[in-house]
Amino acid sequence: MKAIVVHQYGGPEVLKFEEYPDPVPGPGEVLVRVAATSVNPIDYKRRAGLTKDFYPLQFPGLIGVDLAGTVVKVGPGVEGFFVGDQVFAMADNTYAELCVVKAAVLAKVPKGLDLIQAAALPLVTTTGNQLLAATGIKAGQTVLVVGAAGNVGRSAVFTAKERGATVIAGVLMRQMQTEDTKTVGADQAIATDDDTAIANLPQVDAVADTVGGKIAEKLIAKIKPGGVYASVVGAPQNAAKYPSVKVVPVFSEFDRKTLESMAQAVRDGKLIIPISQKLPLSKAAEAQAEAEKGATGKILLVA
């Protein structure tokens, strides 16, 4: 098969489109012909060696997390999946024409959802849902979602609204009036890089953070005593100054029901995950370079 092969850590130029041995499904595994994968920050951080202490690459190796495609072979002991099924998942080694996936982390693409579009969803929608869930937010409460115009943020906003919460979208000042922010679905928006706006922000019940950094240190002060600061990017550096706030780190884990329900919401137009580009798999280096520059919307690699 053809795949994006990494022979050493480095910049986008280390991503090589070349021949790689076909994977073979073992017990409990499924072989998927990849229709598309997508570019996520974990992909280029791993390529650059920034995750080698906890998520190393074995050279020559493959990268990639998101996957959508069609089942072409089923390993021993697999139940519920058959050749021809359209599936999607958070997997490993997905920048390739073929990928072996554990059946336990595989889900069927909801009918009516485009297979290529499905590749944009697994990591970001699952992470956003689980980030919001970690806040414990309830109907009638207020949550601030930081980085709401991003795909994880959008998914968190959607989940909060489904719970009946009031949602404040935390976005950059330059994003305030853009279409990206208008399609997020929050009740109101606030510029998180505007100190005056932050100072005037009433206290909230929880913060769901996808950005981190200095803004996190300002926003933790805006949480009511007993509230929650949930984050996918680490605790605010000054968290110890706010012992009445519970800080919860969030790490995305596969959950089939969550992925399927979020994908159904995308199919039905209730949740919008913008797709900015669709490039051939061979253009992975170009795609990652664009993503690292801060491209808005998901970039898909079509195999």
Which band of pLDDT confidence, cut at 50, 70 and 90, is reported for residue 52?
A: very high
What is the distance between the alpha carbons of residues 255 and 252, in angstroms, rounded to a whole number? 9
Query: Tokens 């073929």 map to which residue?
Result: 98
Quick check: 99 and 32 in contact, CB under 8 A? yes
Which band of pLDDT confidence, cut at 50, 70 and 90, is reported for residue 179?
A: confident
Quick check: 211 and 229 in contact, CB under 8 A? no
Query: Tokens 């959008």 map to which residue?
Result: 154
What is the distance between the alpha carbons of residues 71 and 78, in angstroms, rounded to a whole number? 12
pTM reported for the whole predicted model? 0.96
C-alpha 235 chain-centroid distance: 19
Average pLDDT score over residue span 64-70 = 98
Q: Give the count of alpha carbons within 13 A of 41, CB side only.
A: 15
User: What pLDDT score was predicted for residue 294?
Assistant: 83
Supply 75's token pair: 């390993």
**DSSP β-bridge partners for residue 61:** 6
User: What pLDDT score was predicted for residue 176?
Assistant: 83
What is the distance between the alpha carbons of residues 246 and 58, in angstroms, rounded to a whole number? 38
User: What pLDDT score was predicted for residue 160?
Assistant: 98
What is the distance between the alpha carbons of residues 145 and 5, in angstroms, rounded to a whole number? 36
What is the distance between the alpha carbons of residues 37 and 287, in angstroms, rounded to a whole number? 11
User: What pLDDT score was predicted for residue 116?
Assistant: 98
Indicate the helix (H) or strand (E) that contains 69: strand 66-74
Convert the pLDDT of each residue in 90-127 to its tens digit: 999 999 999 999 999 999 999 999 999 999 999 999 99
Which band of pLDDT confidence, cut at 50, 70 and 90, is reported for residue 296?
A: confident
Q: How far, in Å, are 46, 61, 275 from residue 58 at the CA level?
A: 11, 5, 31
Quick check: 130 and 159 in contact, CB under 8 A? no
Q: How far, in Å, are 125, 128, 270, 285, 289 from residue 121 at the CA level?
A: 6, 10, 14, 21, 21
User: What pLDDT score was predicted for residue 178?
Assistant: 76
Strand, coil or helix: 27:
coil
